[in-house]
Structure 1
Amino acid sequence: MSVLDLSRRLLALSQTGLHFSQEEYDRERYREMGQIAGELLALESKLTPDQVRATWMVEDGYSTPKVDVRGAVFRGDQVLMVKERVDGKWTLPGGWADVNDTPSHAVEKEIEQESGFTARAVKLAAICDRNKHNHPKFLYHVWKLFFICEITGGDFRTSYETTDVKFFPVTDLPELSTGRSTVAQIQNAYKHHLDRSLPTEFD
Structure 2
Amino acid sequence: MTEPTSSDAARIRLEQARRLLALAQTGLHYATSAFDKERYDEIAKIAHRQIAEAASLDTIKVAELFEFESGYANPKLDVRCAVFDEAGRILLVREIADGRWSLPGGWADVGLSPAENAAKEVQEESGYTVRIERLLAVWDMNKHGHPVSPFHIWKIVFSGAIEKAGMVSGTETDNVGFFALEDIPPLSLGRVLPEQIRRITELHDSGAVDFD
TM-score (norm 1): 0.93
- The CA deviation at 1:156 is 6.1
Q: In the alignment, what sits opposite 1:201?
A: 210
Count of residues in correspondence between the two structures: 200
Q: In the alignment, what sits opposite 1:68?
A: 78
Counterpart among 129, 154, 177 of residue 165 in structure 2: 154
Moved more, 104-113 or 76-85: 76-85
Q: Which protein is richer in strand relative to its size?
A: 1
Where structure 1 has 5 or more consecutive residues not aligned to the other structure, the ranges are none
State the alpha-carbon separation in 1 of the partners of residues 135 and 183 from structure 2.
24
Moved more, 149-158 or 171-180: 149-158
State the alpha-carbon separation in 1 of the partners of residues 198 and 167 from structure 2.
23
State the alpha-carbon separation in 1 of the partners of residues 45 and 106 from structure 2.
29
Q: Please show how residues 5-44 of structure 1 align to structure 2 within 5 Å.
A: 5-44=15-54
- The CA deviation at 1:29 is 1.8
CA shift in 2, pair 1:51/1:193, >3 Å: closer
- The CA deviation at 1:21 is 1.3
DSSP 3-state at the match of 2:58? coil
Moved more, 90-99 or 68-77: 68-77
Tell me if the contact between 1:85 and 1:161 (Cα under 8 Å) persists in the aligned partners: yes
Q: In the alignment, what sits opposite 1:4?
A: 14
State the alpha-carbon separation in 2 of the partners of residues 180 and 109 from structure 1.
17
DSSP 3-state at the match of 1:98? coil
- The CA deviation at 1:172 is 2.0
Q: In the alignment, what sits opposite 1:52?
A: 62
State the alpha-carbon separation in 2 of the partners of residues 167 and 112 from structure 1.
15
State the alpha-carbon separation in 1 of the partners of residues 39 and 194 from structure 2.
43
DSSP 3-state at the match of 1:32? helix
Q: Deviations over 1:127-147 (max 9, x none)?
A: 000111111110111100011
Tell me if the contact between 1:148 and 1:192 (Cα under 8 Å) persists in the aligned partners: no
Q: 2:189 is matched by which residue type in structure 1? A: T
State the alpha-carbon separation in 2 of the partners of residues 71 and 192 from structure 1.
13
Instruction: Kindly report the root-mean-square deviation, in angstroms, between the aligned alpha carbons of the 2 structures.
Output: 1.5
The alignment status of 1:99 with 2:110, answered yes or no, reads: yes
Tell me if the contact between 1:119 and 1:152 (Cα under 8 Å) persists in the aligned partners: yes
- The CA deviation at 1:57 is 2.9
Q: 2:82 is matched by which residue type in structure 1? A: A
Ranges of 4+ aligned residues in structure 1 off by more than 4 Å = none
State the alpha-carbon separation in 2 of the partners of residues 63 and 46 from structure 1.
21
CA shift in 2, pair 1:159/1:23, >3 Å: closer
Q: In the alignment, what sits opposite 2:196?
A: 185
The alignment status of 1:165 with 2:176, answered yes or no, reads: yes
Q: Percent identity?
A: 43
The alignment status of 1:136 with 2:147, answered yes or no, reads: yes
